[in-house]
Amino acid sequence: MGALKKYGITDYKHKARVTSPNDIRQFDYIFGMDDSNIEDLLEIEQKVPKEERHAQILMLGKQDPNGKNEVPDPYYESGSKQFDEVLEQCVKCCEAFLDKVYK
């Protein structure tokens, strides 16, 4: 949470949860951070009839203007520097994605 605090995000109430088939029906976009996430999301997507699928499943890192494809999991690294770097990468990716969607 220290990395979020540096960005002024202090009242964070969201938490991670398991993606459900209903998410495939409900959301416009669902992002995976790495190949394993994408594989898991595609498996969940297969549980939803094609005519009910709404979400586009995308790799967040492919939105990175610096050309990185995967967003590494900072949990497996020591120290807070990795959390800061991953948050910065996520912000860049999200901004680039939104620029594409809203242009």
Tell me the CATH number at 18. Answer: 3.40.50.2300
Domain of 47 in residue numbering reads as: 2-101
Q: Which of 19-33, 41-55, 71-85 has the lowest mean pLDDT?
A: 71-85
Confidence of residue 1 (pLDDT cuts 50, 70, 90): low
Its pTM stands at 0.84
pLDDT average, residue stretch 20-49: 97
Segment holding 30, helix H or strand E: strand 29-32
Structure tokens at 89: 């990468």
Domains in the chain: how many in total? 1
The arithmetic mean of pLDDT across residues 41-50, rounded, is 98
Alpha carbon distance 103, 95 (integer Å): 12
